[in-house]
Each structure stands twice: as structure tokens, then as C-alpha cells.
Structure 1
Amino acid sequence: MDPTSPPTSLHGANNSIRAAIMAVVVGLLAGYLCLWVMMPTNTYRQTWLPHLRAHTTSTYFGTAQGATYLVFTFPVLLIALLGCLYLHLSNKSSHIHHTGTSNKLAIWKRSMMIKGLGIVSRIELAFFLMFIALLVWNLANYLHVGFAKITSKSAAETGEKMWEAKLDTAALRLGLVGNIALSFLFFPVTRGSSVLPLFGLTSEASVKYHICSDAEMGENWISNVAGELSLLAGLMLWGATFPRIRRKTFELFFYTHHLYILFLIFFVLHVGIGYACIMLPGFFLFMIDRYLRFLQSRRGVRLLSARVLPCQAVELIFSKSKGLSYTPTSIMFLNVPSISKLQWHPFTITSSSNLESDKLSVIVKVEGSWSNKLHQLLSSPSPVDRLEASVEGPYGPPSTDFLRHDLLVMVSGGSGITPFISIIRELAYAGETLKLKTPKVLLISAFKNSTDLTILDLILPISGAPSEIFKSGLQIEAYVTREEHPTTQETKLIRTVWFKPNPSDAPISPILGQNNWLCSSGNARESVQIQNLEGATPQASPNSWYYNADRELESLPQQSLSQSINVHYGERPDLKRFLFEHKESSVGVLVCGPKKMRHEVANICSSGLAANLHFESISFSW
């Protein structure tokens, strides 16, 4: 038996506790959803609610608010607490292999193509359909109850006609249904919450539902002064979320999103504090998460070095605490005060927390003004010798399950290759250190220009690469779509810059959150690591540029990598051929890139022509 694996009895006890926790969570969730189902009915308003208020009189919150706090807030907060314990027990297993999830749950996590929604997992689809059904149910019941109270006599007393009274009631009830969207608005953007991972979801893949909820709220607010101001703020906030605006003018999207503060203030003034209590659970979790992010980001982190690529991309290598662990495909939010003190941008982590226990790396591709300024700082003839930075994260799935496949086919477009780099490095760790059987890897990457091929060099860590990356059967098919043949221009090399240390900087470490469950790992204790890392650059001074400086140490892995790459010019990959020609019993298919590419791969895998294809989309909607 592997000495690093837990004893069988402890593993069984772990699974039993997790099963018991999940049973309690399912019961709490069922009760919470039952409240939402019953809320628009007369049974709830005339029987349940008076009974609750009679037994929940609060000194501080009063009769009405106390009952609402109890029945709508307590279940969600208890689910979040139990989720922390569940994920803590799950994290005792290796991040990369199966962590005890049942086959039935694995089936629910599979992705599929749904017209109008795009690529969604079965869990996402189930929650989405339940949400739509809840909206329809509430609207139908609100209208039924409201219209039943309207008579010719009641309309005459208010000086209205029957149709006018019904229209007013419909507007009011529609606004009440819109408030349901607000109650679920904050769950997808609470990055460190345990609620989403507990059900196999991630924040980065759920943001699209946050946008849908935001849009639905904006269409349903009731009209008066506070409501109109809340509506105005909500519409401005929602308008900046369109993909074209968000990607091309990220600054506008970022700053406009701070209108949520005015939106919430005027919402409370509009509907009253009593009714606003129904949206507090998600808001509470969001504020806790926001505070923890503030704690993590208030201190600068140690940036060790940067590799500048000819394709206008930069790899940033940070010092990290050895106690910080994360899964492949995780993301991290980065702030560079010298560029913007307010802007935070998400980037995919390319390192493996197991293979590179004291370093963390991300790749920044020039796609906007912020990333362009960063590239200019590092690529100029006289680059900066120190770059202040703060981070939030990492955030990602609690576990991955890549080892269950015989072959992994990874399809990427442009910078979409970055999450696959972390997977390849993690597979190398699993094969070399854990001595596990790893799947063969086929990486299919499409690039616009030949200079973009240099991003493939970042598959290797800066300190060298283990040979297991290539023993596992790594094959790379790279396609350069806008060039018919290799260019004859002089090849530009990757340049590396080392940054001067600063005593105030600290390694990246978790502050509470899902990676550390209930306690911090202690920044002060890890700060000693900074001085130790200074020995990583003995060749020259920290503020010098290096041309191909690290290749001497990793020449053998670099040669093996070049032998694994086939470059095709002037064509696009035939994805159907690549996917259908492999007959292994289990082929995991992952795709990250443009929307058209993701949908093409999803349609191929869901066509039913190859039962061995298991599709998993890696979607980042930030």
C-alpha cells in the first residue's frame, strides 16, 4: 500500500461523514426550496407565516423581520458551514484523481450543448430549470391570489376599472417575482463560498447565471422614486455586462459594476427592510467573501520573475506558501497598483501546486489596455526591477478527475491553452511522484500567427521539467491558421527578468476560504521563504535580462518537448477526425477557447457517434 495514502478505515470513515453531511445538506436545501414554493400561496401567508411570527419574536429584529431572518437566512448559512466541513474532508484526498464521488454524481457533472444556454453541465441545467419553474410558479400563484381579491366593488372604491386594477396587481406581482432573482444574484459571484463547490459548480462557470438574474431584475422593478433609482443603477450595471462591452472596454464594465452599492441601497428603501430580508443569505455570504478577499489582498505578494514571449504574452512567477494548494484549471485575480489601483483581472494559473510547491505562475496575454501596459513595463529595454502586486485566490474546482481516462484530448484556441498547461504539469507530478498511471495526452492548439507558438515553451516550468511529462505520451498538434508556411524571420527568444526582493512582500497564501477551511496558514511563518528563494537566481543580478537563460538547465526536457510538437500551417484542425479516430475505452475531451470552437467540440461529443468520448468544457465567464 502506498505510504502516502490514508488507511482504509480512515478513508471509509471520511466517506461516511461526507455522506451524512450531504444528506443533511440535501434536506436543508429541500426545506429552503419548499419555502420559496409555498411563499406565494395563501397557506403560507395565512397559516405558516403567522405561526412562525408567533414563535420567533426577536428583541432586535421584531416579529416580522425575525421570522424572515430565521427561515430564509439560517438554512443557507448552515449549508455554507456544512459545505466548508465537506470540502475540508474532500481535500484530504489528492486533487487530481477521483475523490470518492459516486458514478451518478459524475454523470450529473457531464457537460452538454443546450441551444440558448450554450455548454452547461447537467447539474447547472437542473438548477436552471428549477429556477425557471420557481419563477413561473410564483408568478402564476401571485396573479391567482391577487386577481381573486379584485372585484367590481373593490375597483370602484379605488376609482379604477377592472382591467386597470388587474394591471396594477400584475405589475406588483411581477416585481415580487423579480425579487426572487435578487435573492439568488450573489451566489455565483461569491468566489470563495463553499455552496457552489458543494454541488459540483464553480463561480467562474456560474457567472452567466448571475448576468441572467441581473437582467431579469432590471425588467421587473416596481415604479416609484427609490425603485426608479434602483432600476436605473441596475440597468446601467446590466448594460455593461454584454460580452462585446465587457471584453473591449473592461474598464467601463469594472467601474460600472460598483453601482451595485446604490442599487442595493435604493432597493431596500423601495421594498422596505422586512421584505429585503429574503435576499440577505446570498448577500451575507458575498460580504464575508469580500472581506476575506480584502484580508488576502491588502498585503503585497512576492513576484520572483517574468518570462516575456514574442507573442505579446507574459508569464509571471510568484512565490507561494507551501500550504497553499489548488487544482488544475484554477484562476487568480491580479492587481498591479502601478497600472491601476482599483482594477482586478482574472488569469488562469499554469503551475501545479504539487509539482511547484513554492511557486505559482500565471500567463497574461495582451488583449486590452491593462495587459498592454503590463507588457510594456516588462518588455522595454530598461524594464522595472520590481513590480508591486496583490492577488485574490486561487479559485477553482475542489477536485478533478483526469486519471480515470485512458486518453485526454485537449482542444485550445489562442490563450485558451493556459489551463491545459496546469493539467499537464499536474499529470507529470502524478506519474513521477505518486507513481500513478496517467493517461496519454493529445493537445490540439490553434494559433493565429507563428509567434504564438512560443507559448508552448511555457509548458515547462522555469526551474526545469520532469521527464514524466513526456513518458506519459504527450503529443502536441499545433495549427497556425493565418500563415501558409514557416516564416524566415529571425526567431525571437523568450526573455526572462528577475525582480528585486522587498521585505514587505509575502508569498501567496490562503486567508481562510475553501483552501484552508477555518484557519489561516500564517503569513508571518511563511515569510522566511522569501529569503530562501533568492538563491534561485545565482547566474546574475536580479535586475538583468536573460536571453534563453534557463534553457541550459532544461535542455533535455526542451528537446523532448520539441520532438512532441507537430506544426501545421495554413489550416485548421479536423476535430472530428482527431476525436473519432481514437478507440480507447475512455477519452476525456476538454476544450477552452473561442465560443465557436467550444460549441463545435461539444456537438461532436454529444452526437452519440462515439460512446467513449466524455466532454468537459472549461469556461471562464469573468
Structure 2
Amino acid sequence: MFFDRWGKKLKRIGLHLGFIGIICLNLLFLPVSRGSVLLRTIDIPYEHAVKYHQWLGHFMMTLFTLHGLSYSIAWYSEDRLSKLFDWAPHKVANFAGVIALLAGVTMWITSIGWVRKKYFETFYWTHHLYIVFALFMTFHIGEVLFNVTFCGLFLFVLDRFLRFCQSRNSVGVLSTKLLPCGTFELTLAKSRGVKYHALSYIYLNIPEVSKLQWHPFSVASSPYDGDSWLKILIKPYGGWTLQLQDLVSAVVKLGRCPSNINAAIEGPYGHESNFFLQYEMLVLVAGGIGISPFVALLRDLLQRYQRGQPNLPSTVYLIWAVQKSEELQLLGLIPASTICPDYKLKFNLEVHAFVTRETSPFSLERGSETSDLHQHDRFKMPRILASLIDAEASKHPMSIVAGAGNNMWITACFLASLLGYIIVYLLINLFIVQPFEQGSVKDGNSSGSIPRWITGLFSVISMILGVVICGGSVVSLWNFLGRLHQNTSGAVEENVHLLSTSDNDGTAFTDECADRLLDPSNTYFGHRPNLRDLFDGYRKLQRPGANVGVLVSGPESLQISVAETCRAFNTVNYDSRRVAFSYHSVSFEL
């Protein structure tokens, strides 16, 4: 009697835990829909929303694990542990739940922080078990409870379909440039209708390197630089980027045109608004190649000042830490005096660069070293090692069907897919479910209704067909009209003109003194930046009550240091008249 009573309580507890877990499952898919209408409406970018996905995932899997253990212990006490393998047609499919739980636990274990960072490929591929998890969870809970998870799962499937449609389009690489520091620049063709912001990023796939690997990269150009292209900077770190560097080097040095480098793109993603414009003063903190989004941001500010836009930040401080001095040449990608000739009269731009692994200035030219800064200007940016412009690539722009694309078309895809789901679901019920049940009644089979797990499968099929057929029809129309309005010949002329003159717009590292944002007075060797001292100096220059925007891009350790510094100034002896530092992370690490 004791075991029976506690067995029933355990199963009741397990039932409640499972139901709460299903609610979490609905919310779990919302943050990982990169171009989600919901996330874009509330302006939470994917790279920030994914944190909620991680927390929800840990909580949900804890609930589901306890749910499974509760029933297992109860059945074991009743000597009925074999019920774990039951797949009754008109009851809960227990074995389907076991399969879903095993898939979920596998994803859970490989998503733990240190496992994900050390064995990212393992994490990435095992996370595709979400298909098994979602499908067998549907078999386990049936059609009725599937509707509880429908909203999040539907938005995720729609987003995944849009990403698939966009990535199927081969994107041309307009130009490739090799820089002496090892970093290389790719200029990608895009449709005029694809909009992005200064802090946007894309997911890039190069089929010649790997057809399966996708990697995120910050956009390093301003939307004002050109309507038909965007640029990214890539610093070789791991195997994929090193292979891509070898490919770019071979193509550029051979001077092949067309370059025969094609890309697949997902995005652009990121904030829907230029939130950094709300601050009077900006503090940008970058580590290494983390300078990329700030190259775009500074170019964007210069373009806005040149156009006479109001309410822009009046002061910008850039703190940049690099390991070797040759990396400093990346600031040559900001031709300040070319974009805005009188920018020094319009706003204050101050740079502090820290070279952590060198104790004295080195020549930025490879293989040379000297201690005399005046004899050889260490801050004169070297010219590009090699470059290639491919005019033919303009004929293959990034698809206008972007994950963060036109709101009207995204809404149309959503409504069409939802309508398609309803239509397919009704047709399945009309032509399959009802005739089957009516036939069973005529045959005198009282238990002849369609099994629960089959009705759940019908719901999944209805959702997928609704998205693919009806949503796909809207996507096809969207893509067709976008290409129809894309003036291909004009785009080619514009791209060729802009890229052929890029050596004069700063991308070839102009030698004018006005464009040298770095000099011996603001470059420091042999130590890291003292953030507290720098922030204290910035604070003293601001009026009481001012709100300073702090943006950080770089390693996690740098982000933590900046966040702690902001917190220290905001909370210790807090006074509303003191200067406040508003922290923003510009990072898309999972």
C-alpha cells in the first residue's frame, strides 16, 4: 500500500513536470528563429535571444528528465518497468517519449559550456537531433498537447524554411583583398532590397571549402557605402578560415577573373535599429578582429555626418587591444577624411590602441624592425598585398528573401503558411481521418479510431506542408518581383565603379596624415588597457547625468572586464547626477 500510494504521487508529479516542460518547449523555439517577426518587433537580436534559449533548454531538460525518472521509479516500484517500451495506439506512446528524452539528453550534455566551446562540431551536429526530439515528442504527447507547442515550433519551421530559400541562392564575391596582417576582406554582391545596419552580421558558407559549415561574420561596411554590396573581414583562426585564406590567396595571386569563388549567405541579422545613435558619447572596446563591427560603425557615423544628419554622437572613444602591431593596419579601412573631409570639426574621435605582446614599436611591414619611429613611420599603413575585382559576380547578388527582410513580405509568408496549415489539416481530417473512423464504425470496430501518435504526425505534416506550399508560393513571388526590380546592368556598373576606385576611398590604406587614426602618442605597447582609468577619464569629461553608450566586441574575457567596469561605475556610490555607462555586447557567439 505504501509503494502504491507513493507510486501514484510520483506519477502525478511526473505528469505536472511534463506539462510544464511542454510549455517551455513552446517558448524554446522562439529565441532561435533568427529572422523571427516576434524578435524583430521587440528588437532583440538573435545573438542575445539565444541566451534565453540556453536557459530555457537547461530548465526544460531538467523537467523532462525528472518527468521520466518519476514514471520510471513508480513503474519499477510496481514491477511494471516494461511499460517504458509500450507504444499503445490509443494511449500515451511511452517508448516514443523515451526516444525523445534520449535525444534531448544528448543535446543537453553536448550543449554544456565547456563541451560546446571545446568540441563545437560535436555540439553543432548533435543539436540536429532536435528533429528526432520534436518528432517523437509529438508521437508521445499526441495532437492535443502538440497544439500547446505549436506557436514556437511553427515560427521556427517558417524561419528555417526562409533561411533555406535564401541560402540556396549562390552569391558572387565581387572582390577579394589580402592584407599583410593575414586578414582578408570579401566584398559580397547583394540585392538593393536587402537592408542591413552598421552592427549587422551574416552567416557565411563557402561550398569550395565546405558545403556544410556555416560561420558568422560582422559586416565591416556601412549601409551608406553602397546599395549593392557589403564587406566582411576574416582573420584566419581555425581550419575553415585557414582553408578559405588559402583559396582566396590562390585566386587573387593567379588573378583569375571571374574569381570562381561563390558563397551562400544567411542574413543579415542583428539589431533592427541603430541604437548607438541615442547616446551623446560612445565608448567602443574591441579585441583583435573584434574591430570589424566598429569599422562599420565608424564608417556609418562618418557617412551620417557628411550627410548632415542631426542628433549624432558628439564624442567617440575607441579602445582597441591587439596582440601584434601588424594588426593595427585594419584601422586603415576607415578613410575618415575621404568620407567626411571636415569630420574633426563635427565630432571628436579619439583612439587608444594597445599592443599586448610587443614591448616596442615594430614596422608594420613584414620582416623589418627598427626602433626609430621618426625614420620609418610605423603607423603608415602598407598597401594591400593583392586584390581582385570580379564584375561578373554582380550578376549573382544575395537573395532578397532575407531572414530579416521586408516586414510586409515576412508577414505575408507567415499568414500564408498559417492559412496553408489550416487548409491541409482540414483536408487530412476530411479525406483521411473521418472516412477511416466512419469505416471502422460500419465494420463494428469500436476501437478503430486513428492512433494518437498518427494524429500528432498529421499535425506535423500539416504544418510542414503549409509552410512549404503556401509559404513557398509567397517566397517565390517575393523572389520573382525582387529580381524583376533589380536593375542588374546598373548594379554591375555601380559595383565596378565603386570597387575599381576603392584604392582611393581608403580600402587601400591611404597615406594622408588625416586618415591616420593611430600615431605614437595613442599607441601603447606591452600591456593591456586599464579600463577603470580610461573610463574614469571619460566620465570626468561628461556633464553630470549623462548616459554613455559602451559597446564591446571581442573575447568573452574582454566582455566580462568591460561589464564589470561599467557595473562598478554605475553602482558604487550611485548618484543620479553621475555619469552612467550603458553596456552593450556586440557578439554572436553561441
TM over 0.5: yes
Contact 1:493–1:548, Cα closer than 8 Å, also in 2:
no
Question: Secondary structure, in 3 states, of the residue corresponding to 1:211?
Answer: helix
1:112-131 correspondence to structure 2 within 5 Å: none
Cα separation, 2, equivalents of 1:555 and 1:500: 26
What letter corresponds to residue 585 of structure 2 in structure 1?
S
Deviation by residue 1:97-138 (Cα, 9 ceiling, x = unmatched)? xxxxxxxxxxxxxxxxxxxxxxxxxxxxxxxxxxxxxxxxxx
Cα separation, 2, equivalents of 1:309 and 1:496: 8
1:234-383 correspondence to structure 2 within 5 Å: 234-380=104-250, 381-382=253-254
RMSD of the TM alignment (CA)?
3.0
Cα separation, 2, equivalents of 1:319 and 1:267: 42
Contact 2:333–2:509, Cα closer than 8 Å, also in 1:
no
Alignment partner, residue 542 of structure 2: 584
1:12-23 correspondence to structure 2 within 5 Å: none
Cα separation, 1, equivalents of 2:484 and 2:202: 22
Cα separation, 2, equivalents of 1:547 and 1:352: 17
Larger relative contact order (C-alpha < 8 A, sep ≥ 6)? 2
1:571 deviates by 0.7
TM-score (normalizing by structure 1): 0.67
2:341 aligns with one of 467, 474, 481: 467
Greater mean alpha carbon deviation, residues 510-519 or residues 351-360: 510-519
Alignment partner, residue 46 of structure 2: 203
1:249 deviates by 3.8
What letter corresponds to residue 175 of structure 1 in structure 2?
G
What letter corresponds to residue 291 of structure 1 in structure 2?
F
Alignment partner, residue 543 of structure 1: none
Cα separation, 2, equivalents of 1:295 and 1:173: 39
Cα separation, 2, equivalents of 1:268 and 1:468: 63
Cα separation, 2, equivalents of 1:244 and 1:383: 43
1:601-616 correspondence to structure 2 within 5 Å: 601-607=562-568, 608=570, 610-616=578-584
What letter corresponds to residue 617 of structure 1 in structure 2?
S
Matched, 1:510 2:434: no
Question: Secondary structure, in 3 states, of the residue corresponding to 1:329?
Answer: coil
1:406 aligns with one of 261, 280, 292: 280
Cα separation, 1, equivalents of 2:19 and 2:158: 27
1:345 deviates by 1.4
1:312 deviates by 3.2
Alignment partner, residue 420 of structure 2: none
Specify every segment of 5 or more residues in structure 2 that has no aligned partner in the other structure, as ranges: 69-83, 85-94, 369-381, 410-477, 573-577
Identity %: 34
Alignment partner, residue 180 of structure 1: 23
Matched, 1:523 2:483: yes
1:452 aligns with one of 327, 332, 349: 327
Specify every segment of 5 or more residues in structure 1 that has no aligned partner in the other structure, as ranges: 1-155, 540-545
Question: For the structure 1 residues 370 and 571, does the alpha-carbon distance in structure 2 shift closer, same or farther, using more than 3 Å as the test?
Answer: same
Alignment partner, residue 30 of structure 1: none
Cα separation, 1, equivalents of 2:172 and 2:520: 34
Alignment partner, residue 477 of structure 1: 352
What letter corresponds to residue 490 of structure 1 in structure 2?
G
Question: Secondary structure, in 3 states, of the residue corresponding to 1:577?
Answer: helix
Alignment partner, residue 597 of structure 1: 558
Contact 1:446–1:479, Cα closer than 8 Å, also in 2:
yes
Matched, 1:189 2:29: no
Contact 1:506–1:523, Cα closer than 8 Å, also in 2:
no
Cα separation, 2, equivalents of 1:244 and 1:468: 49
Contact 2:267–2:402, Cα closer than 8 Å, also in 1:
no
Cα separation, 2, equivalents of 1:192 and 1:581: 40
Question: Secondary structure, in 3 states, of the residue corresponding to 1:389?
Answer: strand
Cα separation, 2, equivalents of 1:240 and 1:552: 44
1:286 deviates by 1.1
What letter corresponds to residue 433 of structure 1 in structure 2?
R
What letter corresponds to residue 498 of structure 1 in structure 2?
L
TM-score (normalizing by structure 2): 0.71
Alignment partner, residue 367 of structure 2: 490
Alignment partner, residue 394 of structure 1: 268
Question: Secondary structure, in 3 states, of the residue corresponding to 1:478?
Answer: strand
Cα separation, 2, equivalents of 1:253 and 1:504: 36
Cα separation, 2, equivalents of 1:163 and 1:551: 73
Cα separation, 2, equivalents of 1:617 and 1:325: 22
Cα separation, 2, equivalents of 1:458 and 1:282: 41
Question: For the structure 1 residues 304 and 460, does the alpha-carbon distance in structure 2 shift closer, same or farther, using more than 3 Å as the test?
Answer: farther
What letter corresponds to residue 532 of structure 2 in structure 1?
K
Cα separation, 2, equivalents of 1:552 and 1:240: 44
Question: For the structure 1 residues 453 and 504, does the alpha-carbon distance in structure 2 shift closer, same or farther, using more than 3 Å as the test?
Answer: closer
What letter corresponds to residue 188 of structure 2 in structure 1?
F
What letter corresponds to residue 37 of structure 2 in structure 1?
S
Contact 2:205–2:215, Cα closer than 8 Å, also in 1:
yes
Cα separation, 2, equivalents of 1:241 and 1:248: 11
1:393 deviates by 0.9
Alignment partner, residue 524 of structure 2: 568
What letter corresponds to residue 596 of structure 1 in structure 2?
S
Q: Which has the larger radius of gyration?
A: 2
Cα separation, 2, equivalents of 1:227 and 1:512: 36
Contact 2:332–2:516, Cα closer than 8 Å, also in 1:
no
Question: Secondary structure, in 3 states, of the residue corresponding to 1:327?
Answer: coil
1:329 deviates by 1.2
1:479 deviates by 0.6
Contact 2:183–2:234, Cα closer than 8 Å, also in 1:
yes
Question: For the structure 1 residues 584 and 499, does the alpha-carbon distance in structure 2 shift closer, same or farther, using more than 3 Å as the test?
Answer: same
Deviation by residue 1:370-396 (Cα, 9 ceiling, x = unmatched)? 111111111345476221111111111
1:357 deviates by 2.7
Cα separation, 1, equivalents of 2:157 and 2:307: 40
Deviation by residue 1:337-376 (Cα, 9 ceiling, x = unmatched)? 1111122211111111123333201122222221111111
Cα separation, 2, equivalents of 1:482 and 1:449: 6
Cα separation, 2, equivalents of 1:310 and 1:290: 38
Question: Secondary structure, in 3 states, of the residue corresponding to 2:271?
Answer: coil
Cα separation, 2, equivalents of 1:512 and 1:538: 28
**Equivalences, count:** 458
Cα separation, 1, equivalents of 2:212 and 2:507: 37
Cα separation, 2, equivalents of 1:270 and 1:181: 16
Contact 2:198–2:297, Cα closer than 8 Å, also in 1:
yes
Cα separation, 1, equivalents of 2:169 and 2:513: 36
Alignment partner, residue 416 of structure 2: none
Question: For the structure 1 residues 557 and 273, does the alpha-carbon distance in structure 2 shift closer, same or farther, using more than 3 Å as the test?
Answer: farther
1:443 aligns with one of 314, 318, 322: 318
Question: For the structure 1 residues 603 and 550, does the alpha-carbon distance in structure 2 shift closer, same or farther, using more than 3 Å as the test?
Answer: closer
Alignment partner, residue 104 of structure 1: none
Cα separation, 2, equivalents of 1:553 and 1:613: 33
1:209 deviates by 1.6
Matched, 1:423 2:266: no
Cα separation, 1, equivalents of 2:503 and 2:308: 34
Contact 1:350–1:422, Cα closer than 8 Å, also in 2:
yes
Question: For the structure 1 residues 468 and 613, does the alpha-carbon distance in structure 2 shift closer, same or farther, using more than 3 Å as the test?
Answer: farther
Alignment partner, residue 534 of structure 1: 496
Cα separation, 2, equivalents of 1:177 and 1:552: 58
Matched, 1:618 2:586: yes
Matched, 1:231 2:74: no
Contact 1:446–1:572, Cα closer than 8 Å, also in 2:
yes
Cα separation, 2, equivalents of 1:575 and 1:549: 33
Contact 1:302–1:501, Cα closer than 8 Å, also in 2:
no
Cα separation, 2, equivalents of 1:550 and 1:598: 30
